[in-house]
Amino acid sequence: MNVFAIIGRVVLSTLAEIGALTRFVWLAVTHIFRPPFFWRLIAQQMLRIGYFSLPVVALTAFFTGGALALQIYYGGNTFNSESIVATIVALGITRELGPVLGGLMVAGRVSAAIAAELGTMRVTEQIDALTTLSTNPHKYLVVPRVVAAVITLPALVFIADIIGIMGGFVVGTGSLEFNPGVYIKNTVDFLDADDVISGLIKAGVFGFIIAIMGCFHGFNSKGGAQGVGRATTNAVVTASILILAANYVMTSLLFAN
Amino acid sequence: MSDAKIELRNVHKRFGKKVVLDGINLTVPKGESLVVIGGSGTGKSVMIKCVLGIIRPDSGEIFVDGKNVLKMDAGEREKVLRKFGMLFQGAALFDSLPVWENVAFGLIQGRKMKRKQAKDIAVEKLAKVGLAAEVGELYPAELSGGMQKRVGLARAIAADPEIIFFDEPTTGLDPIMADVINDLIVDSVKDLGATTLSITHDMASVRKIADKVAMIHKGKIIWAGSRAEVDDSGNDYVDQFIHGRAEGPIQMEVLKP
Ligand SMILES: Nc1ncnc2c1ncn2[C@@H]1O[C@H](COP(=O)(O)OP(=O)(O)OP(=O)(O)O)[C@@H](O)[C@H]1O
Ligand SMILES: [Mg+2]
């Protein structure tokens, strides 16, 4: 096999994929603002994406907050650890770990579910059937999922922030025997609204990525059950990578000064 | 030209290297029932999807009521789509919705009808295809293949369309149920005065529902005539097909990979 032919084909198919994704995102975004609006479906998706992800996200945040507290305590010097642990847990959770880990957990759950559902609808011609019933599939299927994810992810991450800080508090006051009052005071003193808000902005972007990747791979799946399986895997992998990449970019923009 | 409801002129479509439609010319006169016959994989479903705008042909023209649908913007197209009803090859029912909502879908989403009123119409259409009102409360997965086809038929006729497409309405059914479906098609068409384009492999179905017959082979219409002419068409391809012979000008590509 000719090496250049292979490289050429990979480059071309990657470009084609990026083009298709750009078009898909454009269609999704423009349809968000054009009537009709499917409120019922948005509410239904908010329940599925947001509410049912709560246990996963809460547990992730709790254990991460706890582990972070231990790690800082062991790694730092024990001399003013009491104030350092509380501050770093609060900043670490709200700025980075809450949104990123929350986003990744939801990506695993929700991107996969969306890709599997829409992929099945694609291969059984249900998406084509929508078109013939005067219903735009982008509006009916993609928009509610994207809107619901962009709204619910920040809410989920806000809850994750609280639970993550509580995780640190439980470990700090429990096994590290810090004074609870001092721990809370340190948390409140060092935590700015900006820290929380930057995390919530990230969460909104991650929500968009999660829903779009699920929908895009579902919409483009072909070839029966195997194709749907491939779409599901691709959705989770691409959503996770894009979340980490977008997180890096946003951290460098939001905290530049 | 005035009595042509649908007209395809020199329509081409290929997927990658595979040429599927290779210059289709076909006219469906207003108020008539045209049946397209042809072997598996000859592009029959692709042709129908081109007319519905689900697949975009590479070249050629498609007219509905004298207007070229390929030159329309999205809004105009949606208006034209309202004239259509479609029974998909695999029924393509929405498995997240109960049967009655499947039937009423085009009325509720496409025409903004109140759910209550739409449900009454759905029950009426279900009765027309021989299904009791209780079936309306079931989900598609709980139905047999024959019942799914009938629900698909009820959905196709629910909005009283001017044009109905039937993609293999009897495939996979027992001969008696197939005949029931054929009768239903003839009746519904008579009631609505609709123009229909059907696809089938089933000669019993052809004899029952067709006014005109066309045969597709390797992406081209190779023969067209009235139902009475099918039996002595003088065309070797048509003869081989209607008698179901393995020997003849049509070579099934079973030995090639
Ligand atoms: N979306 C698609 N992408 C790539 N190839 C496709 C696509 N849709 C159809 N094809 C190819 O086009 C050819 C014709 O398909 P089509 O579904 O129109 O066949 P058909 O005549 O309806 O056959 P059958 O009678 O078995 O339903 C097939 O070889 C199929 O592999
Ligand atoms: Mg077909």
Q: Considering only residues 155 to 214 of chain B, which have any Cβ-Cβ distance to chain A shorter than 8 Å?
A: 155, 159
Distances (CA, A) of B75 to A147, A151, A178, B80: 23, 29, 66, 9
pLDDT band at B201 (very low <50, low <70, confident <90, very high): confident
- How confident is the prediction for chain A on average, in pLDDT? 91
Give A-chain residues touching B92 at CB under 8 angstroms: 124-126, 128-129
Supply the residue whose CA is at minimum distance from atom 4 of ligand 1: B15
pTM: 0.88
Q: Is residue B136 within 8 angstroms of chain A, CB to CB?
A: no
**Interface predicted TM-score (ipTM) of this complex, two decimals:** 0.87
* pLDDT level of residue B252 (50, 70, 90 thresholds): low
The closest alpha carbon to B165, from B121, B134, B209, belongs to B209
B254 pLDDT higher than 90: no
The total of other beta-carbon atoms located within 10 Å of residue B86's CB is 27
pLDDT band at A79 (very low <50, low <70, confident <90, very high): low
pLDDT of residue B74: 82
pLDDT reported for residue B175: 87
Minimal-distance CA residue of chain B relative to A36 = B109
For ligand 2, a single-atom ion, the residues with CB < 5 A are B 45, 89
Q: Is the pLDDT of residue B255 over 70?
A: no
Mean pLDDT across the stretch B171-193? 84
Give the tens place of pLDDT for each residue, B58-93. Answer: 999 999 999 999 998 888 888 888 899 999 988 899
Question: Hey, is the C-beta of B76 within 8 angstroms of any chain A C-beta?
Answer: no
What is the rounded average pLDDT of the residues A66-84?
80
DSSP collapsed to 3 states, chain A: CCHHHHHHHHHHHHHHHHHHHHHHHHHHHHHHCCCCCCHHHHHHHHHHHCHHHHHHHHHHHHHHHHHHHHHHHHHCCCCCHHHHHHHHHHHHHHHHHHHHHHHHHHHHHHHHHHHHHHHHHHHCCHHHHHHHCCCCHHHHHHHHHHHHHHHHHHHHHHHHHHHHHHHHHHHHHHCCCCCHHHHHHHHHHHCCHHHHHHHHHHHHHHHHHHHHHHHHHHHCCCCHHHHHHHHHHHHHHHHHHHHHHHHHHHHHHHCCC
Binary contact (B89, A124; C-beta < 8 A): no
Q: B134 alpha carbon to ligand 1 midpoint, in Å?
A: 36
Q: Which residues of B touch A126 (CB under 8 A)?
A: 92-95
Q: Does A12 touch chain B (CB under 8 A)?
A: no
Q: What is the pLDDT of residues B99-117, one digit of tens each?
A: 999 999 999 987 888 999 9
Distances (CA, A) of B119 to A204, A222, B84, B86, B146: 38, 33, 20, 20, 22
Set of chain A residues whose Cβ sits within 8 Å of the Cβ of B93: 126, 129
- Mind telling me how many Å the CA of B249 is from chain A's nearest CA? 31
Residue B89 Cα, ligand 2 centroid: separation in angstroms? 6
Q: Which atom of ligand 1 is nearest to the CA of B38?
A: 21
- Mean pLDDT within A107-129: 95
Q: Compute the average pLDDT of residues B135-144.
A: 94
pLDDT tens, A195-240?
A: 999 999 999 999 999 999 999 999 999 888 899 999 999 999 999 9
Mean pLDDT, range A1-19, rounded to an integer: 88
pLDDT class for B143, splitting at 50, 70, 90?
very high
Mean pLDDT of the region A68-82: 78
Q: What is the reported pLDDT for A34? A: 85
Can you give the length of chain A in residues?
257
Shortest CA distance to A138 belongs to which of A51, A41, A17? A41
Residue B206 main-chain phi, psi, to 5 deg = -55, -50
Q: How far is the CA of B11 from the centre of ligand 2 (A)?
A: 17
* Integer Cα distance of A188 and A216 in angstroms: 41
> Exposed/middle/buried for B74, CB within 10 Å: 0-12, 13-18, 19+?
exposed
CA A229 to chain centre: 21
How far is ligand 2, taken at its centre, from the CA of residue B195, in Å? Answer: 20
pLDDT mean across residues, chain B: 89
Contact B23, B44 (CB under 8 A): no
pLDDT in the model for residue B1: 45
Residue in A with minimal Cα distance to B92: A126
- For the domain made up of B29-57+74-243, give the CATH fold: Rossmann fold (3.40.50)
User: Of B28 and B3, which is predicted with more confidence?
Assistant: B28
Would you say residue A178 has pLDDT above 90?
no
> pLDDT tens digits, residue range A141-167?
999 999 999 999 999 999 999 999 999
**Location of structure tokens 């011609």:** A125
Domain positions in chain B are: 29-57+74-243
Residues of chain B above pLDDT 90, percent: 54
- The helix/strand count (H/E) of chain B reads as 8, 10
Is the pLDDT confidence value at A257 over 80? no
Helices (H), B106-244: 115-128, 145-157, 175-192, 203-209, 236-243
Contact call for residues A121 and A127 (beta carbons, < 8 A): yes
Q: Does A44 touch chain B (CB under 8 A)?
A: no
Instruction: Specify whether the CB–CB gap between B181 and B171 falls below 8 A.
Output: no
DSSP state of B140: G
Long-range CB contacts (within 8 A, 24+) of A26-35? A27/A138, A27/A142, A28/A138, A28/A142, A28/A143, A28/A146, A28/A212, A28/A215, A31/A136, A31/A138, A31/A139, A31/A142, A31/A143, A32/A143, A32/A146, A32/A147, A34/A139
**pLDDT (average), residues A118-146:** 93
